Structure 1
Amino acid sequence: MSFTTRQHFEIKNVIISAGTHGNEMSGIEAVAQWQNNPSPLHEALPSAHIGLTLANKPAVKARVRYVDEDLNRQFSQAKLNMSVAENAPNEVKIAHDFNAEFGPKGQSKTDFCIDIHNTTSNMGPTLIVLENDEFNQQLARFVKSVMPHSVILVEDYQAFADFGYLCTVATKGVMVEVGPQLQGALRASVYQQTVDMSLAILRFIELYNTQTIPNLGPVQAYRFGLEVAYPTNSQKQKTAMIHPNLDGKDFAPLLPQQPCFIDFTGKDLLWEGNASYPHFIGEAAYDHLNIAFATADKCLF
Structure 2
Amino acid sequence: MINSIALVGGTHGNEMSGIQLVQNWEDNGVPSQFSSLDITLYKANPAAIAANVRFLEEDLNRQFTNQALSSSRHTKTPNSLGSISQEQELAAAINAQLGPKGASTTDLVIDIHNTTSNMGATLIILDTSDVYIKMARYVKQHMPEANILVEDEKPYHEHGYLCTTGKLGVMIEVGAQPQGVLREDVFLSTQKMAEVLLSFCIALNNNECDNLPPCEAFRLGENVSFPLNEEGNRTAMIHHSIQDNDFVPLMPGNPMFRGFDGKDIVWHGDEPTYPHFINEAAYHKLDVAFATSERIEI
Q: Residues 68 and 39 of structure 1: is their aligned pair in 2 closer, same or farther, counting only changes over 3 Å?
A: closer
- The alpha carbon displacement at 1:36 in A equals 1.1
- The alpha carbon displacement at 1:277 in A equals 0.3
In the alignment, the residues of structure 2 paired with residue 11 and residue 245 of structure 1 have an alpha-carbon distance, to the nearest angstrom, of 43
Which 5+ residue runs of structure 2 have no aligned equivalent? none
Give the conservation status (yes or no) of the 8 Å contact 1:46–1:206: no
What is the one-letter code of the residue matched to 2:252?
P
What is the one-letter code of the residue matched to 2:282?
A
Structure 2 residue corresponding to 1:275, chosen from 266, 272, 281? 272
- The alpha carbon displacement at 1:209 in A equals 1.3
Give the conservation status (yes or no) of the 8 Å contact 1:47–1:209: no
In the alignment, the residues of structure 1 paired with residue 106 and residue 30 of structure 2 have an alpha-carbon distance, to the nearest angstrom, of 21
Deviates further, 14-23 or 86-95: 86-95
**Percent identity among equivalent residues?**
46
Residues 217-276 of structure 1: CA distance to partner in whole angstroms, max 9, x if unpaired?
A: 110110000000000001111110000011011000001110000011221111112310
Q: TM-score, normalized by length of structure 2? A: 0.95
Partner of 2:131: 135
Partner of 2:14: 23
Structure 2 residue corresponding to 1:37, chosen from 1, 4, 28? 28
CA RMSD across the alignment: 1.1
Residues 1:52 and 2:41 aligned together = yes
Partner of 1:74: 63
Residues 1:232 and 2:228 aligned together = yes
Give the conservation status (yes or no) of the 8 Å contact 1:75–1:165: yes
Partner of 2:99: 103
In the alignment, the residues of structure 2 paired with residue 136 and residue 271 of structure 1 have an alpha-carbon distance, to the nearest angstrom, of 32
Residues 1:93 and 2:89 aligned together = yes
Which 5+ residue runs of structure 1 have no aligned equivalent? 1-9
Residues 1:185 and 2:181 aligned together = yes
Give the conservation status (yes or no) of the 8 Å contact 1:20–1:54: yes
Structure 2 residue corresponding to 1:220, chosen from 216, 221, 232? 216
Structure 1 residue corresponding to 2:50, chosen from 57, 61, 67? 61
In the alignment, the residues of structure 2 paired with residue 56 and residue 129 of structure 1 have an alpha-carbon distance, to the nearest angstrom, of 22
What is the one-letter code of the residue matched to 2:20?
E
- The alpha carbon displacement at 1:212 in A equals 2.1
In the alignment, the residues of structure 2 paired with residue 57 and residue 17 of structure 1 have an alpha-carbon distance, to the nearest angstrom, of 12
What is the one-letter code of the residue matched to 2:242?
L
- The residue correspondences of 1:205-216 to structure 2 (distance < 5 A) are 205-213=201-209, 215-216=211-212
In the alignment, the residues of structure 2 paired with residue 39 and residue 119 of structure 1 have an alpha-carbon distance, to the nearest angstrom, of 25
In the alignment, the residues of structure 2 paired with residue 39 and residue 131 of structure 1 have an alpha-carbon distance, to the nearest angstrom, of 28
In the alignment, the residues of structure 1 paired with residue 126 and residue 60 of structure 2 have an alpha-carbon distance, to the nearest angstrom, of 18
SS at structure 2 position matched to 1:20: coil
In the alignment, the residues of structure 2 paired with residue 206 and residue 38 of structure 1 have an alpha-carbon distance, to the nearest angstrom, of 18
Residues 1:247 and 2:236 aligned together = no
SS at structure 1 position matched to 2:5: strand
Give the conservation status (yes or no) of the 8 Å contact 1:25–1:118: yes
What is the one-letter code of the residue matched to 1:229?
S
In the alignment, the residues of structure 1 paired with residue 110 and residue 175 of structure 2 have an alpha-carbon distance, to the nearest angstrom, of 17
Partner of 1:197: 193
In the alignment, the residues of structure 2 paired with residue 138 and residue 48 of structure 1 have an alpha-carbon distance, to the nearest angstrom, of 18
Give the conservation status (yes or no) of the 8 Å contact 1:130–1:154: yes
Partner of 1:290: 287
- The alpha carbon displacement at 1:214 in A equals 5.6
Residues 43-79 of structure 1: CA distance to partner in whole angstroms, max 9, x if unpaired?
A: 1x33321000110111000000000000000001111
SS at structure 2 position matched to 1:140: helix
In the alignment, the residues of structure 2 paired with residue 47 and residue 59 of structure 1 have an alpha-carbon distance, to the nearest angstrom, of 32
Q: TM-score, normalized by length of structure 1? A: 0.94
What is the one-letter code of the residue matched to 1:127?
L
Matched pairs, number = 290
Residues 164-185 of structure 1: CA distance to partner in whole angstroms, max 9, x if unpaired?
A: 0000000001000000000001
